[in-house]
Structure 1
Amino acid sequence: MHVADILRSKSPRTVAIAWNETVGVAAGLMRASNVGALVVRNAAEAVIGMFSERDVVAAIAERGASGLSSKVSQFISARPLVSCRSQDRLAYVERLMICHQIRHVPVIDNGRLVGVVSKRDIAFASDQAGAVQAA
């Protein structure tokens, strides 16, 4: 299976936030959008990282309630950006996630964001493939 197989069954909507927005705004956006991570874009609209629930926790753990006023850019994952392409195999993306200890990977084809794939997406696709093979 490939990343494109997952993207075909998901909503094409990705939720993004500006790198200079606050952690509090990011947390609210994640809750309102029912997502565990946001794509972070810089001033030029380029994808520069992912901001996850773990990052919200890190901001609060490090700075207390004032962490909510911190900028998203202070807590996004280290560079370089870990991403994949829609043609990549799920096993490859799963190894990326394990290697980098992340749960969400932006899917970028020809420099354009086309979606986000999560560990849950991969687990669900693997379960579905196993169920089809067992039938």
Structure 2
Amino acid sequence: MYVGDILRNNSPHLVAIGSNETVSIAANLMYASNVGALVVRSASRSKDAAVVGMFSERDVVAVIAERGTNGLAMKVAQFISPRPLVSCNSQDALTDVERLMARHGIRHIPVIDNGRLVGVVSMRDITLAFEEAACAA
């Protein structure tokens, strides 16, 4: 099974935020969109802006734990990882992506094909895909 199989079976629910937005806006956007992570784009939510990272529910909790509620007014850019973006493409095997996510301690990964963001896959998506495949066998 491949990442593309998940994207075909589930409508890609991409929710993005600009890196200059606040943690509070990010938390509200995740809540309103019912997602556990946001794609962070370089400056704006525009589809043309570069993907620079992911911002998750765990990140919101870490900001509040470290900075208190004052952290909610800080920019998302201050909390995304400075390391290169961990991503996959739709042709990657789910087992490989699962290992990649475990190695980096992440639960959401952007899917980028030919430089274009086409979706986000979560550890839950992968687990459900494996469960469905096992039930179908």
Do they superpose with TM above 0.5? yes
Which of 105, 108, 113 lines up with 1:101 in the alignment? 105
Q: Which amino acid aligns with 1:22?
A: T
Distance 1:96 1:45 in 2: 25
Q: Structure 2 regions of 5+ residues with no counterpart?
A: none
- The Cα of 1:78 is off from its aligned counterpart by 3.7
C-alpha offsets along residues 26-50 of structure 1, whole Å, 9 cap, x if unaligned?
0000000000000000036100000
Residue 51 of structure 1 corresponds to 55
The 3-state SS of whatever aligns with 1:45 is coil
C-alpha offsets along residues 50-70 of structure 1, whole Å, 9 cap, x if unaligned?
000011011101110101001
Which of 100, 110, 114 lines up with 2:118 in the alignment? 114
The 3-state SS of whatever aligns with 1:124 is helix
- The Cα of 1:13 is off from its aligned counterpart by 3.0
RMSD value over aligned CA atoms? 0.9
Residue 26 of structure 2 corresponds to 26
Distance 1:32 1:12 in 2: 16
The aligned length equals: 133
Contact 1:83 1:108 in 2 (8 A): yes
The 3-state SS of whatever aligns with 1:114 is strand
Which of 109, 116, 136 lines up with 1:132 in the alignment? 136
Q: Which amino acid aligns with 1:76?
A: I
Runs of 4+ in 1 over 2 A off after TM superposition: none
Distance 1:7 1:77 in 2: 25
Q: Structure 1 regions of 5+ residues with no counterpart?
A: none
- The Cα of 1:126 is off from its aligned counterpart by 0.2
Distance 1:46 1:33 in 2: 21
C-alpha offsets along residues 78-113 of structure 1, whole Å, 9 cap, x if unaligned?
411000000000001000110000000000000000
- The Cα of 1:10 is off from its aligned counterpart by 1.3
**TM-score under structure 1 normalisation?**
0.96
